[in-house]
Amino acid sequence: MRVKYVLIALAAVTLLAVASASAQVGRIEGVVKKQGSGEPIEGAVVDIIREDIKGNYGPLKTNKKGEFLHAGVPYVGRYTILVSAPGCAPYYATGVRPTGELMKIELGPGDGRRLTIEEVKRAQTAAPQRPMSEAEIKKQQEEYEKKRQEIEKQKADFEAMKKRFEEGLQLANNKDYTGAIAAFKEAAQLDPEQQVIHANLALALYNRGATQLNAGQRDPAKQDFTDSVSAITQALNLIEKQLSDPAKAAEAKKTKASYLKIRADSEGVLAKRFGDASMAEAAVKDYREAATLTEDPKAKKEWPLKAAETLFDAGKAQEAIVAYQEILQTDPDNIEALYRLGLAYASAEKFQESADTLQKFVDKAPASDSRVAEAKAVIQHLVVGNNLKPPKSEPDTKSTTRKRRP
């Protein structure tokens, strides 16, 4: 049996919450199917009743796959399992230990009645079980001690992992990204299934890569961005498991959006600064999926722009034009898209379209936007240099917020 401890990412994967378990807690789980066909039985009632002292840990009901689980029963106890389902004969098993070993239960046809513990006790009285031998008792005690030691080790490993994870967060906050990376890697070795560790490792790698790139250290920077993609991909693979859990799906969806954004940022740098065309396509895909998953209105608007910007900066002007056009179809007043589309048209040598689009930007942008003067100069250069038809200004629809020169 493995006791699972979980680190939970909250708000930009920087906060830590711990769900721990007592070393004396056991787990009973199983699957209920129809005898003969092997078809899972949904809604079967499972009662878990402690034998040595009074205790009832049910009823549980099986899910669509016929599965049931109780992860909070005392490990030292022995239990009787009662299972019933409509149209089936009842089933029981005694002397069950909560080791986490999967119980495979098959129900034959019957009247669907629900068995009681009193009926089981009467059956046991009529046919008493053979007493355990000293060797069997010794073996059971050895198994218990082994499981107890395993749980204690898991608990110790968790505490060590948690300590290194928190150290990594502090180092990252202090911009010691090399130290943070080492701490997160050690934490991940202690528990590789903690998606939040991989996510914070990816962030630290990205930040160190950016620092190195700004310092002209291209080769180590490229490696860090590549490693960041790998680390956040591990986090994404782990978060996928939570999306199928109705209790966790909503939060997992938000987390997945933030993880996709982290990966897209690293992929985008590899595309724009290191000429990796495949990373441009990957970044665009991740930005767009992240935008569909997030509930943040600002992010929904910004991330598709980042996708289009990645295409443009990676030298894919025509693809960038299409991307900006798609944004403007649903948001025609998006001045960022208009400005960038105008530049993309110029890069693709579509000069009339560039001048017309930049004029739309000038018409819609606030007068305080420093790019307005630049756009006007570009328009003038395009018109004069290419003998174009001067673009016409649109009617001023924002006179209450902008003032134009006469």
Neighbours of 171 (CB within 10 A): 19
pLDDT at 140: 77
Asked if pLDDT for residue 20 goes beyond 50, the answer is: no
Asked if pLDDT for residue 18 goes beyond 70, the answer is: no
Rounded CA separation 337/321 (Å): 10
Percent of the chain at pLDDT > 70 equals 89
Q: How confident is the model at residue 6 (pLDDT cuts 50, 70, 90)?
A: very low
pLDDT, tens digit, 9 for 90 and up, residues 162-178 = 999 999 999 999 999 99
Cα dihedral 339, 344, 346, 352 in deg (nearest 10):
-70
Q: How confident is the model at residue 395 (pLDDT cuts 50, 70, 90)?
A: low
Percent of the chain at pLDDT > 90 equals 59
Cβ proximity of 12 and 258 under 8 Å:
yes
pLDDT, tens digit, 9 for 90 and up, residues 363-393 = 999 989 999 999 999 999 999 988 888 988 8
Rounded CA separation 182/180 (Å): 5
pLDDT at 374: 92
Asked if pLDDT for residue 181 goes beyond 80, the answer is: yes
Query: What is the average pLDDT across 59-65?
Result: 91
Q: Which residue has the higher pLDDT, 316 or 58?
A: 316
Q: Is the pTM of this model over 0.75?
A: no
Q: How confident is the model at residue 406 (pLDDT cuts 50, 70, 90)?
A: very low
Average pLDDT, the chain: 86
pLDDT at 127: 55
Neighbours of 264 (CB within 10 A): 28
Residue 313 tokens, joined: 């900066």
Q: How confident is the model at residue 189 (pLDDT cuts 50, 70, 90)?
A: very high
45-50: strand order across its sheet: 60-61, 45-50, 79-84, 91-96
- What does each C-alpha distance from 210 to 12, 222, 318 come to in angstroms? 19, 9, 28
Q: How confident is the model at residue 8 (pLDDT cuts 50, 70, 90)?
A: very low
pLDDT, tens digit, 9 for 90 and up, residues 233-255 = 999 999 998 888 888 888 999 99
pLDDT, tens digit, 9 for 90 and up, residues 302-336 = 999 999 999 999 999 999 999 999 999 999 999 99
pLDDT at 142: 84
Query: What is the average pLDDT across 137-147?
Result: 81
58 contact partners, CB below 8 Å, separation of at least 6: 45, 46, 47, 48, 49, 70, 82
Asked if pLDDT for residue 125 goes beyond 90, the answer is: no
Asked if pLDDT for residue 19 goes beyond 60, the answer is: no
Asked if pLDDT for residue 23 goes beyond 90, the answer is: no
Asked if pLDDT for residue 86 goes beyond 80, the answer is: yes
Per DSSP, helices labelled H in 191-296 are 195-214, 218-243, 249-274, 277-293
Asked if pLDDT for residue 130 goes beyond 80, the answer is: no
